[in-house]
Amino acid sequence: MEEKLIDKLLLIGKSIPSLLIGALISIELALAFLGLGFVAGIPLAVGEVYGNKFVRNLVVLPIVEFFRSIPALVLLFLFYFGASYLKLNFSPFIAALLAMGFRSAAYQSQIFRGAIQSIDVGQMLAARSIGMSKFKAIRYIIFPQALRISIPSWSNEYATVLKDTSLVYALGITELMRQGRYIVARTFGNAILVYVVCALIYFVIVHLGVKLLDFLEEKYRLPGYESKKIDTRI
């Protein structure tokens, strides 16, 4: 019994380096997906709020609905096999980036849209009244305020995207989940142990990121809007 425990601990010790390498890949993937999601999500949000009927109904909404309505794993296969069918030959990484990046863009666009729409119309009016173009008003007045409002919901999106990187193992990318599968395959009968370690690693990464976003939320909170202790008796 004791020998068995030592064996297991040794196994964990030996697996940790390759799991951490996998975790690093997972983080890189998440950053890439979130980055593309951010860069593409903002124009989608602006287009949905300020665009004309054509932009909103024929460009923004179809993209958003497409990526929100299809499961992530199906999107991954569609992009990977679809590309090879069209003779585009995407690497698994590019296929994953497009599928998961635009999926995140669809969700992020809705976070930013909500934030933009929650800003008082008076802000836009005041910006236009001193002669700002619509673009400048969005850039200097609406956007900085919308970003602040977005942080809490964006932290949700961050957690979702990071955890969903585990799906891309299906395309053969050796991120944390796939490293775990390798170890399970090599050392028969340790599945639960390895996956518990994987789960712990995911938990730590997500938790640290959420803490960082909480910190940013506090840091960029506008003076005069400090979070007040809610009286629980009310």
Partner 1 sequence: MNPKKLIQEFERTFLKMTHTILKVENLHKSYGKIEVIKGINFELKKGETKVIIGPSGTGKSTLLRCINQLDSIDKGQIWLEDIEITQSHADINQIRASIGFVFQSFNLFAHLTALDNVRIGPLRVKEMKEKEATKIAVEELKRVGLEDKKDHYPAQLSGGQQQRVSIARALSMNPKLILFDEPTSALDPELIGEVLEVMINLAKEGTTMIVVTHEMGFACSVANDIIFMDGGIILEEGPPEQIFKNPKHNRTAKFLSKITQLEGDKTK
Binding region for partner 1 (CB under 8 A): 120, 122-123, 125-133, 136, 140-141, 144-145, 148, 222-225
Q: Toward partner 1, which CB reaches closer, 132 or 191?
A: 132
Q: Toward partner 1, which CB reaches closer, 189 or 224?
A: 224
The token pair that represents 26 in the structure block: 């997972």
Shortest distance, position 115 Cβ to partner 1, whole Å = 12
Q: Toward partner 1, which CB reaches closer, 128 or 181?
A: 128
**What dihedral do alpha carbons 118, 100, 177, 208 form, nearest 10°?**
-30
DSSP 98-149: HHHHHHHHHHHHHHHHHHHHHS-HHHHHHHHHTT--HHHHIIIIIHHHHHHH
Shortest distance, position 126 Cβ to partner 1, whole Å = 4
Shortest distance, position 129 Cβ to partner 1, whole Å = 4
Q: Toward partner 1, which CB reaches closer, 13 or 224?
A: 224
CA–CA gap between residue 75 and residue 199 (Å, rounded): 24
Shortest distance, position 127 Cβ to partner 1, whole Å = 7
Shortest distance, position 95 Cβ to partner 1, whole Å = 39
Pure H helices in 51-91: 53-54, 61-69, 72-85
The answer to whether 35 touches 162, Cβ cutoff 8 Å, is no
The token pair that represents 32 in the structure block: 């890439």
Q: Toward partner 1, which CB reaches closer, 3 or 120?
A: 120
